[in-house]
Chains A and B, each alone.
Chain A
């Protein structure tokens, strides 16, 4: 299973770099028995090889960054994968806003009615901001996207950046229309319980096979 996970990590590292969503220092991790597999922060994602994906024991974080990943896994049983990125429009919003609303229904489904900005990158601030959500931004920093699988965390990264572009773009056009909280919560409930459940379970089962 570890080899399959490593291959999947390598695949998504390449995709994140190709989509220009990451900078040097960004990392990706996947929960595994006893801890997690995490990519090195010292190399650009495009250059990450199998040897740069390290196992970190859940009781022995190596540094502040791996401690943050582990703190998220410790607090959130529903999360099995984390991608930290610097998607450009999310970074722009995180500089001067406290949150931004879902103006697109795929963001409402996969992320939630809003994406919030954590006041800092400390584990306690991030966990508070991430409560009830799959992703959050960090003030003057980047993005933390999570998921039941790495595939979902990757989709979350893309959908959040698209949501950011939609909010910024529609504001530039003079009329950003946010999805009502009721509709957003309803769509999120349906997505989590019905639409994506089988797909995510199949993808997880393939990794465990």
Chain B
């Protein structure tokens, strides 16, 4: 379980994350939704210790992320941010193999190599495995990064906008794979997503943020209601039941 306790983050005068208390249950897929600037990415960065909070604490399975040795956390929690610029030229395989660093410290065992191959296969990157990242399309690159995170083989996987740069087909495939990671490998997947309908179709729990605060949290069916969504987005959104999913319609 991820326990967030009174976490606040300020940049100068603006409070980006405002006294957030939240617990994310172990297992399943949790989506964090909200408008631009609601503080979703910042919260995710604090949970994954990429950013120190100004006050409050975060624990993952009882381990305080601010004080636990980074290497120990890296075997329990993996994170992928939105921007992934790199100065080094790597092949897909080399990148994915970095996911094993927390376990093997740069010396790959045969077990590590097997996991690298599996992650590459799982994200259908086998044909691209020896290409350099800068030769790939944005969507392919995104898959490679998520493959690295999978290869890290942690209980918790935190992803900031994993659908960035992906077209419709790859977006759906990505969400299905993340769903399977939760279902088949009992991982806890936490995502920041923009598209409420992806969140609705693939997650168990939805957390809604606005102006740095968590304003609602609940299971997907309850959260996908016009009242909640109006509160989150300041927008009237009709919600329909379509082929077994709650779908928000806000285009007109």
The answer to whether A and B assemble together is: no
Which residues of B are interface residues toward A (Cβ below 8 A)? none
Q: Which residues of A contact B (CB under 8 A)?
A: none
